[in-house]
Amino acid sequence: MRRRPGIAGLQNAAATRDQFRLVGENVAKVRTDVMKEQLATFRTQLEEFARKHKNDIRKNPLFRQQFHEMCAKVGVDPLASNKGAWAELLGIGDFYYELGVQIVDICIATRSTNGGLIDLLDLRKLLCQKRKADLGSLTADDCLRAISKLKVLGSGFEVISVGKKKLVRSVPTELNKDHNGILELAQAEGFVTVEQVERKFSWSTGRAIDVLETLLKEGLAMIDDGHRDGKRRYWFPCVTLSSDSTGAEAKS
């Protein structure tokens, strides 16, 4: 059909354009609506999930870990911020922030006994005393997560591995390889002597004494001259003191 020139032709063309636009808008609207609906469904589902499982998240360590795995799979970090749907709905943020505050408390309270280095297991025991919960309700994983959140404070909270143990460091002391070696050696009996250190690492007496004196100055070691063999022992409260002793002191 030959297109006729004239007003009517132009009006026709404009009407067609309008039609197309309308349809386009409609499609876009439908899409947004669907998206909105999906989001709403997701939110209600999440709310329902939260309502159902909030207690589980707070109380059940296994569930907590599985929840974290699920979050990691979908690429969400529920601890990234305390605002936003996840944290608000689930209150999972609160759980770790509360834990973080308690960890700081304990680290500071026990600092004068252990020099700012505490065994993760001791820390967990003290946390459970504080929370009046049993040890099973709080996993090492929970503590590690809470501690990793403390890093943003820049106060030097860090977890270091020494031998089989994990130690939580709350003072800005950098421990080098020598120090770590000695801490690892001390795990056997709770103390080391200069001789033991020399023998184990084939160090000169000077080097051994030097490293031990540094640990002493940092408050990580305590000397003991009372043994009947007369040899000075260097004790390390962070690897020997069981939690009930530090616990009693933390309270006072």
Partner 1 sequence: MQRLGDFRLPPFFNYPPYFTLQPVRETREKQVQLWKDLILDYCRSQKIYIISLEEDFPLFSNPKIERSLSHEAKEVFLAALVNEGRAEWMDKGHKKCLILWLRIQDWANYILNFVKDNGLEDNVMTVEEIRSGIETRGTELAGIDRGVLMRALKLLEQKGKAAIFKGTSADDEGVKFSA
Summarize as ranges the residues that interact with partner 1 (CB under 8 A).
112-113, 115, 191, 216-217, 219, 222-228, 233, 235, 237, 240-242, 244-245, 248-249, 252
For the CB of residue 112, give the shortest distance to partner 1 in the complex, in Å. 4
Angle at 248 between CA 153 and CA 61, to 5 degrees: 55
Residue 79 near residue 93 (C-beta atoms within 8 A): yes
Angle at 189 between CA 195 and CA 217, to 5 degrees: 65
Quick one: 82 or 240, whose CB is closer to partner 1? 240
Quick one: 202 or 252, whose CB is closer to partner 1? 252
Quick one: 43 or 227, whose CB is closer to partner 1? 227
For the CB of residue 224, give the shortest distance to partner 1 in the complex, in Å. 4
The one-letter amino acid code at 147 reads I
Neighbours of 214 (CB within 10 A): 17
For the CB of residue 59, give the shortest distance to partner 1 in the complex, in Å. 30
Length of the chain: 252
For the CB of residue 123, give the shortest distance to partner 1 in the complex, in Å. 17
User: In sequence order, which residues have a C-beta less than 8 Å from that of residue 180 and are 6 or more positions away?
Assistant: 160, 162
Quick one: 93 or 237, whose CB is closer to partner 1? 237
For the CB of residue 238, give the shortest distance to partner 1 in the complex, in Å. 13
Quick one: 86 or 191, whose CB is closer to partner 1? 191
Residue 144's φ and ψ, nearest 5 degrees, are: -60, -40
User: In sequence order, which residues have a C-beta less than 8 Å from that of residue 75 and are 6 or more positions away?
Assistant: none
